[in-house]
Amino acid sequence: MEPATHSDINQQLLVYRAWLNAGEATRLFQRLQNELPWQQHHIQVFGKRCLEPRLSLWVGDEDCAYRYSGRWREPSPWPDYLLALKQALEQRVQQPFNSVLLNYYRDGADYMGWHSDNEKQLGSAPVIASLSLGEARRFLFRHKLNNERREYLLEHGDMLLMNQLSQQQWQHSLPKMLKVKRPRINLTFRYTMSLS
């Protein structure tokens, strides 16, 4: 694989700028936007039922049910073009993926709060490949112990690889950017184990 444009925290975070070129990224964005059955889920926040501040969709192999916010989500099947993308990504990063969480941020008021992707089903040291499409958005990391910080601007076609230790030691978030009036789509490719 070609070298990352930027690597940080002992190779735990690798950014590949324009992993897809602008034309490829735009075609993919349009298909995902128009063809996927995007859903807005409810979540419990401090015991209150709220709508998530974004749309999302869980896609994966048949046995990849995913426990999220207290509920099992069944995977939607792979559209052929997403399966092809997953396979290209597996080749490039030499890691298997069997699922992808897609997030659709309608504008800069949609966001994702601080978290680590540390669900049991991902194992103790997951490798997660995150592809960004559409509007550029800030993406933040903070260290769990010393509050060290990192910030990236993730643009159309960029791929961020979060390596094994990044979920154990860091949290990440996508803050609001109220100036942003147009959508962004993010795909996080993962390897999900079944717990049965």
Ligand X SMILES: O=C(O)CCC(=O)C(=O)O
Interacting residue ranges for ligand X, rule: CB under 6 A: 101, 103, 112, 117, 130, 139, 172, 174, 186, 188
- In the complex with ligand X, the residue whose CB is nearer, 155 or 196, is 155
Q: Minimum distance from CB of 54 to ligand X (Å)?
A: 8
Q: Minimum distance from CB of 23 to ligand X (Å)?
A: 22
SS3 120: helix
* C-alpha span between 9 and 103 (Å, rounded): 25
Q: Minimum distance from CB of 69 to ligand X (Å)?
A: 12
Q: 167 is in the binding site of which of ligand X, Fe ion, none (Cβ under 5 to 8 A by kind)?
A: none
181's CB contacts (< 8 A; 6+ apart) are: 107, 108
135-167 as b/e: b if 16+ CB within 10 A: bebebebeeeeeeeeeebebbbbbbbbbbeebb
Segment holding 15, helix H or strand E: strand 13-16
- In the complex with ligand X, the residue whose CB is nearer, 117 or 196, is 117
- In the complex with Fe ion, the residue whose CB is nearer, 23 or 70, is 70
Amino acid at 1: M
Q: Minimum distance from CB of 31 to ligand X (Å)?
A: 18
What angle, 0 to 180 degrees and rounded to 10, lies between the N-to-C axes of helices 80-93 and 22-35? 140
- In the complex with ligand X, the residue whose CB is nearer, 76 or 196, is 76
Q: 130 is in the binding site of which of ligand X, Fe ion, none (Cβ under 5 to 8 A by kind)?
A: ligand X
Sign of the C-alpha dihedral computed for residues 168, 97, 4 and 15 taken in this order? negative
Contact positions toward Fe ion, by CB under 5 A? 117
Q: Minimum distance from CB of 139 to ligand X (Å)?
A: 5
46's CB contacts (< 8 A; 6+ apart) are: none
Q: Which two tokens stand for residue 30?
A: 């349009």
Q: Minimum distance from CB of 126 to ligand X (Å)?
A: 11
Q: 100 is in the binding site of which of ligand X, Fe ion, none (Cβ under 5 to 8 A by kind)?
A: none
Q: 64 is in the binding site of which of Fe ion, ligand X, none (Cβ under 5 to 8 A by kind)?
A: none
Cα 86 from chain centre: 13
- In the complex with ligand X, the residue whose CB is nearer, 78 or 160, is 160
